[in-house]
Amino acid sequence: AQTVTQSQPEMSVQEAETVTLSCTYDTSESDYYLFWYKQPPSRQMILVIRQEAYKQQNATENRFSVNFQKAAKSFSLKISDSQLGDAAMYFCAYKGVSGTYKYIFGTGTRLKVLA
Amino acid sequence: GAVVSQHPSRVICKSGTSVKIECRSLDFQATTMFWYRQFPKQSLMLMATSNEGSKATYEQGVEKDKFLINHASLTLSTLTVTSAHPEDSSFYICSAIWTGAMNTEAFFGQGTRLTVV
């Protein structure tokens, strides 16, 4: 069975600085998708970034980028130029390409942005 | 991105009554919908997966007779918490995908905060 691990329950970053959130996963599949979701206080889940496992190039979305290390099964999220609005819970998620299409979520990392 | 609307956003019900939560995909056909439960400061716990026109698949430990899921159309799934008790109080979230494409992402509803008094 697939698992997703986020080892940082909480992180803090100074406004305008850079922070990296860690995520590791375990799977026997060769093709899959990885996601980072943001859950602000409103609790609406918002997709931050997505990575297809077959793509070697790391995904980037404006200030958000990932470091995808397939062999190491690592998928970290880097937030550059942190803003107060980035404060939220961040969940790493895994989705296989076959079967039930279930998402497997990590336990989350609470990011605090300090003014 | 696509929009998933969940209703109601908050509901308070008396112990022993039933409450229905709706999850609608507004601009796409949701072949599969997922229902999650989220406890405070915790991750999303998958309760069940529902495919349009078929019975839901429940995760281990989830009582299917208590949490009734119906996915009768490609745009609507409902979760009914039957004979609710205070321990059922939680935040419930739905998500929907269209399985016609391999790289489809899940879109989430706004969530429903259920309080059973």
Residues of B in contact with A105 (CB under 8 A): 43-44
- Nearest partner of B78 among B89, B64, B94, judged by Cα: B94
B54–A contact, CB cutoff 8 A: no
- Measured distance CA(B111)–CA(B9) in Å, rounded: 6
Q: Report the distance separating Cα B33 and Cα B31, nearest Å.
A: 7
Of A44, A91, A101, the CB nearest to B99: A101
Mean pLDDT (chain A) is 94
Q: How far apart are CA A43 and CA B42, in angstroms?
A: 12
pLDDT at A98 over 80: no
Q: What is the pLDDT of residue B100?
A: 65
Q: Are A40 and A88 in contact (CB under 8 A)?
A: yes
pLDDT per residue as tens digits for the range A13-61: 999 999 999 999 999 988 899 999 999 999 999 999 999 999 889 999 9
Distance CA A23, CA A5 (A): 6
Compute the nearest-CA separation of B81 from chain A (Å): 21
Q: Does A99 touch chain B (CB under 8 A)?
A: no
Per-residue pLDDT for B51 more than 80?
yes
A101 touches chain B (CB under 8 A): yes
pLDDT for the residue A53: 92
CB atoms closer than 10 angstroms to residue B71 = 26
Are residues B103 and A52, on separate chains, in Cβ contact within 8 Å? yes
Q: Please compute the mean of the pLDDT values over residues A57-74 and round it to a whole number.
A: 96
pLDDT of B55 above 70 = yes
List chain B residues with CB under 8 Å of A96: none
* pLDDT for residue B2: 77
The pLDDT tens digits of the residues spanning B4-50 come to 999 999 999 999 999 999 999 998 888 889 999 999 888 999 999 99
B51 touches chain A (CB under 8 A): no
**Beta strand pairing status for B57-58 and B44-51?**
antiparallel
pLDDT at B30: 86
Per-position DSSP letters for chain A, written without gaps between them? --EEE---SEEEEETTS-EEE--EEE-S-SSEEEEEEEE-TT---EEEEEEETT--SPPEETTEEEEEETTTTEEEEEE-S--GGG-EEEEEEEEESSTT--EEE---EEEEEE-
CA–CA dist B3, B21 (Å, integer): 17
Token duo for residue A86 = 């980035």
Cβ atoms within 10 Å, residue A102: 18
Cβ atoms B84, B114 nearer than 8 A = yes
What is the pLDDT at residue A44?
Answer: 93
Q: What is the pLDDT of residue B98?
A: 78
Q: pLDDT tens-digit profile of B67-117?
A: 999 988 889 999 999 999 999 999 999 999 876 665 568 899 999 999 999
The per-residue pLDDT for B31 is: 85
- The torsion region of residue B103 among left (phi > 0), alpha (psi -120 to 50) and beta comes to alpha
Q: Cβ separation of A42 and B102 shorter than 8 Å?
A: no
A45:B93 CB<8 A: yes
Which of A47, A95, A106 shows the shortest C-beta gap to B43?
Answer: A106
Q: Which of residues 11-70 of A touch B (CB under 8 A)?
A: 33, 35, 42-45, 47, 50, 52
Distance from CA of B110 to the nearest CA of A (A): 5
